[in-house]
Structure 1
Amino acid sequence: MKNNLSLKIIIISTLTAVFINIFFGRLIAAKISTWPVLNRLQILNPQAPIVINTREEVRVSETGDVVKTVNAAKSKISAVVMKGSGNILQLGTAINLTSDGLFLTVESVIAGKQPNQLVVKLDNGKFGEVSEIIRDPATGLVVLKTGLNGMGLADLGESDQLTTGERVVLLDASLQDYLVSFQDSNISEDQESDMLGKFSSDFPTRSFVLTPSVSKLPGEAVVDLKNRFMGIRDGETVISSDVIKDFLVRFLANSGNALRPEFGFEYRITGKLESELLEIPFGAVIEKISAGSPSQKAGLKINDVLIAVGGQSINQENSLEKLLGKYKPGDEVIINILRQNIPESITIIPAELK
């Protein structure tokens, strides 16, 4: 009799323990373990991943990532300010470029202004007067030179790595210390999609497209959720970080002078389908040639298909824009073309873009 009673007690105890473990340990504890009070006291802190087998939809919010991005990036942008008679006015935003006082913005921020009218204000409240304005005629980028130093610097990413749908943050500097305004956006078209447009040999435009959003002031910084600066917004267009980096290489290599080559033609990229149906290589179809340009003088013609520059084939990794951007005025540039499906090569000596 006692043995039967003991067996019943063991069975009931086991079943009760299993029930408590399933109902409380896995369901109730899993839900309340995220309460802030219990987290601070380290009570019911789960030691293994929690698996939820209900039909509830589980979403991971990126709000925290956006806040982290804003807080990390805000010290790397600055306000461009105009001094007036008795007042000041913020014109736009610039990104902190170098530790010795160079800032990068766009032409629409400082259009028509002289250096002695402008001041750059850091996130921490320090400011410096602009001593020089250096313009890039090809991109609309502008470098502002000041006497500031020691500020946080923007980390330029690779904009061609952005994908359609990816989330980014648009940052505007402020006249108030340690304060920025921001808005969410997404990539609606990546740079690869943008390759299907019409382009100029002299004006770099490869970029991505953002979902529609209101631009507060020009010069907004476009930052991804890994805190990499992917471009500068200028109205509805974005000057991508890839274009910015190419400009900086040219700018720094020429002692602060953004020398640009002028070729003088317009083109479109042949798509994959067109290449396959017409049995032509991937390349650039010449659609317009400027009168008196270096390309016209070299013998380039409309409908020529440009397939290589300096021995490097044009493809999605090596865009024509990128290949032409490696040269400076006066260089001899060997161009491989197809003219009525017959291979030819010509040499173009680019002038300086004014």
Structure 2
Amino acid sequence: MSNPKRTVGFGGLIIAALVLSGVGGGMVGGVAGYRLAQVDQTATAVDVTPTTANPQTNANLTAQPVVANSNDAVVQTVANASPAVVKIISTVAGGQASGSGAIINEDGYIITNNHVVEGQNRLQVIYSDGTSHNAELIGTDAFSDIAVIRVLDAVPATISLGNSDELKPGETVVAIGSPLGKFQNSVTVGVVSALDRTIDRMEGLIQTDAAINHGNSGGPLINLKGEIVGINTLVVRGDIGSIDEAQGLGFAVPSNIVREVSDTLIANGQVVRPYMGISYELLSPETADLGIANGKGAFVTNVDEGTPARRAGVSRGDIILAVNGEEITQRHSLQRLLLQYKPGDTVTVTIERNGQQQDVQITLTERPS
């Protein structure tokens, strides 16, 4: 089977998802020229390269934190984390796709990307020692590009999810994966280039310059404490029709979003997302320069007919500032705030219209499939 890379044209950019022979994706952006995210989705979390853990003979090891200021911090981080990183082979119609994953507990649960396992009819996990193990699909969430699978065999090691809200630009991070599906447990090192990036419906993404290539989808982005701070999901390559090609523009789903989604998938097998029925653009400090709401909130670009937002009187051009008093920011986006509610809940939404604030009551429904 050929190994096409997944690319999506967006605002002159070429976006590539990082699964080898995989499927997936989409990209968008905002008020000054992006396509707008759908509120029907309350995303939290997205796509990386496959990797397999380093050979490990002792069972049930747990990745240990390392001292971040040690001269060999990266070496120690990799040594501790690699056994918990696996390669995932997904058999799909017409061939196979490969990606990465991270074992998060001794019950055999593995986090990866939705697009790594999408359309699968068989899943195999390759440990770092080269052994192959059958896996079952627990659940997927296309909006965050997160999936959970499980092996029933004993696992070689686990790695914990850290707190992505503590990340700072310039912080050292490590990506482990299997570029091109061949070079297992390849390690790349970089920094957190930026936080809270928005691409298509995916909000709050971590931008990193750690090299990420095809076959890395679903693999972990790790801090020097040895914790997962993100799940690698896509890269931006460059301008459509241009010979210029961007380098070092990789993106990962933050671990706090991954945790919310994976916990729900393990408990329920799916993520039921509440639905308002609007399209919006998440405002930022850059849009504040245009005089829009001090750069905070969600700028409503469309309200669908017959939806909860339309019934509540929300209009195009409104700015949603808060939900039940929780302010909308790039770190705490509308999607993420809504994920804590369920269909049938009524929330108080604070909007700004023509410079005046008002509260409206919106009863959420389930997002249409």
Aligned 8 A contact 1:167 1:224 in 2 = yes
- Deviation string, structure 1 residues 69-121 (Cα, Å, up to 9, x no partner): 1101012111112469xxx977111111332222111123223321xx22112
CA–CA separation in structure 1 for the residues paired with 2:287 and 2:99: 43
Structure 1 residue matching 2:162: 3-state secondary structure: coil
1:339 is matched with which residue?
353
Aligned length: 280
SS in 2 for 1:297: helix
- The residue that corresponds to 2:64 in the other structure is none
User: How far does residue 206 in structure 1 lie from its aligned partner after superposition?
Assistant: 0.8
Change (3 A) 1:132 1:67: same
Given candidates 96, 99, 112, the residue that maps to 1:105 is 112
Deviation at 1:272, TM superposition (A): 8.3
Contact 1:309 1:336 in 2 (8 A): yes
How far off is 1:154 after superposition? 1.9
1:198/1:269 contact within 8 Å kept: no
Q: Is the 8 A contact 1:79 1:90 kept in 2?
A: no
State how far apart, in whole Å, the 1-side matches of 2:212 and 2:331 are: 32
* Aligned partner (choices 156, 166, 172) of residue 177 of structure 2: 172
Q: Structure 1 counterpart of 2:255, which letter? A: S
Structure of higher RCO (CA pairs closer than 8 Å, 6+ residues apart): 2
- Which structure is larger by alpha-carbon Rg, 1 or 2? 1
Q: Select which of 101, 118, 122 maps to 1:94.
A: 101
Residues 1-354 of structure 1 correspond to what in structure 2 (within 5 A)? 64-82=72-90, 91-114=98-121, 117-172=122-177, 180-191=185-196, 194=197, 203-211=201-209, 213-217=211-215, 218-236=217-235, 237-252=251-266, 254-265=267-278, 266-271=280-285, 274=288, 282-315=296-329, 318-353=332-367, 354=369
**Fraction of identical pairs, as percent:** 23
Say which is worse superposed, 270-279 or 242-251, in terms of deviation.
270-279
The Cα of 1:204 is off from its aligned counterpart by 4.6
CA distance in 2, matches of 1:72, 1:110: 26
Q: Which amino acid aligns with 1:303?
A: G
Per the normalisation by structure 1, the TM-score is: 0.68
Deviations 1:317-339 (A, max 9, x none): 64433322211222212211122
How far apart, in 2, do the equivalents of 1:109 and 1:164 lie?
28
Unpaired stretches in structure 2, ≥5 consecutive residues: 1-68, 236-250
1:107-144 CA-partner distances (Å, limit 9, x unpaired) = 23223321xx2211233455431233511132111111
Change (3 A) 1:288 1:149: farther
**Residues 161 and 285 of structure 1, relative CA distance in 2, 3 Å threshold:** same
Q: CA separation in 1, counterparts of 2:284 and 2:231?
A: 28
Q: Which amino acid aligns with 2:144?
A: T
Deviates more, 1:95-104 or 1:65-74: 95-104
- For residues 152 and 117 of structure 2, the distance between their equivalents in structure 1, rounded to whole angstroms, comes to 18
Normalization by structure 2: what TM-score?
A: 0.66
Q: Which is richer in helix?
A: 1
- In structure 2, relative to structure 1, the CA distance for the partners of 1:317 and 1:81 (3 Å cut) is closer
After superposing the two structures, state which structure 1 stretch, 125-134 or 326-335, moved more.
Answer: 125-134
Q: In proportion to residue count, which structure has more strand? A: 2
Is 1:268–1:287's contact at 8 Å kept on the other side of the alignment?
no
**Gap regions ≥5 residues in structure 1:** 1-60
Corresponding residue SS for 2:205: coil
Shift of 1:275: 8.6
> 1: distance between equivalents of 2:210 and 2:175?
12
